[in-house]
Amino acid sequence: MFAIHTKLLPFFLLALAVGQSQTAKITNSSFEDSSQIKGDLQPSQRVRRLLASEEPNGPHGRERCRAGRCVPDLKYLRPQIRADLTRTPALPNDKPIHIQGLDQAIHDLESVMIRTMTQNIDTLRDTRAASVLTFREQIDYDARVATSPGIKTICEIGFYCGQSATIFLEVNPKVQVISFDDFVYPAGEACYTHLQQRYPGRIQVERGLSQNTIPAFIAKHTGADGVYTGPTCDLIRTDARAEYELRRADMALLQRMTSCSSLILFNDICDVQNCHLYQVKNCYWHYGTCEAQNPLFFEGAAMVYEELVRRNIVESLDQFFLGANEPNFYKSFGLGRMACGSNGKPKPLPAVPLFQNPAAFQQSMQACFRKAQGVVKRSFLPERGWVWQCAIT
């Protein structure tokens, strides 16, 4: 559906302007600050002892199981924190870069996570496995987008442990980050405090569910005339709840904070042409159990992205998709730009009911999964939204 553009946007090729207030620097030649990196990131001694006491017999060969419970191997999931300008680009729009100070910033954030969650090894593993920091290609991609001209305010739905915020704040010293998050992860508060100290006055968090905090934030910056006068999101990154209805609602709410030039990074979307392959071939191993995928969850972000493009609400600029890049199976993210309506404002996202009987839909979907090679295929109708049918591959 979304072809990768042969001519990438100009901002992918731009580095940060050199200024007295700037500390970030992009280079494609040498590893300038390698001597400043305080060694490679390693788990604490307690974590290493726990890992050593477990047997590497998980279903993927990269998990460790004990008492019938399998979790990802922390050492396997340890992100590659050092920039590698010699690595082979995974795709034409993958450009290895080095930004001075970014590797150290990532290292310091990860250290906070490890110190905070040492007593909860399972959560630490899961948190790091799902992080952008396990995927060097996405680190470099997000850094290039964040350094594009005109980016002053970045709004992100989902702070998690501050991984994306760290990238944005470090690579662009002029940017402000507004995060909407309910802070359910143990290290969230500690990481937020760390970022406040490292980047004073440049990060703001709105605590709570986005369905409540986004309207409250907009109301706080709206006058008696009903005009929103608060910050405009030059870049939006959606990386929280992946269910279709929830992510769609987040986008509808954030539209009042956008302009026709606002960029949008959609994270955790599968290839819109092959989402069903994810369901069949890459079941999610969670503590040793292969769970059947719910397309409303694992495909939700991709569906919202595709719908926005089909409705001409968002112009698709680029998509990055890798079919088998572990540990992030079918890792993909899309980049779009808000389209302008006839009134000079972003086009609104219309309200369309997803389905009338959620319980019946869930039952029929699970019945489809139980069939050999059964997948739930979808199609989009502008007047109805998404419709599904069971198919056998």
Q: Which helix (H) or strand (E) holds 219?
A: helix 210-220
- Per-residue pLDDT of 78-112, as tens digits, reads 444 566 777 788 788 888 888 889 989 988 998 88
Between these two residues, 193 and 366, which has the higher pLDDT value? Answer: 193
Q: How far apart are CA 14 and CA 147, in angstroms?
A: 7
Q: pLDDT value at position 49?
A: 40
Q: How far apart are CA 52 and CA 225, in angstroms?
A: 63
Q: How far apart are CA 34 and CA 56, in angstroms?
A: 33
- Per-residue pLDDT of 220-244, as tens digits, reads 999 999 999 999 999 999 877 767 7
- Using alpha carbons only, give the angle 172, 178, 179 rounded to the nearest 5 degrees: 115
Q: How far apart are CA 144 and CA 374, in angstroms?
A: 40
| Contact partners, residue 359, CB within 8 Å, separation at least 6 | none
| Contact partners, residue 80, CB within 8 Å, separation at least 6 | 136
Between these two residues, 193 and 91, which has the higher pLDDT value? Answer: 193
Question: Binning pLDDT at 50, 70 and 90, where does residue 184 land?
Answer: confident
Q: 74 pLDDT exceeds 60?
A: no
Q: pLDDT value at position 65?
A: 47
Domain boundaries, the chain: 10-338, 358-392
Superfamily holding 10-338: Vaccinia Virus protein VP39 (3.40.50.150)
Between these two residues, 306 and 42, which has the higher pLDDT value? Answer: 306
Question: Binning pLDDT at 50, 70 and 90, where does residue 35 land?
Answer: very low
**What is the pLDDT averaged over residues 285-306?**
55
Cβ–Cβ under 8 Å, residues 393 and 275: no
Q: How far apart are CA 393 and CA 387, in angstroms?
A: 18
Q: Which helix (H) or strand (E) holds 237?
A: strand 235-238
Cis peptide before 327, with omega less than 30 degrees from 0?
A: yes
Query: What is residue 234's DSSP assignment?
Result: S
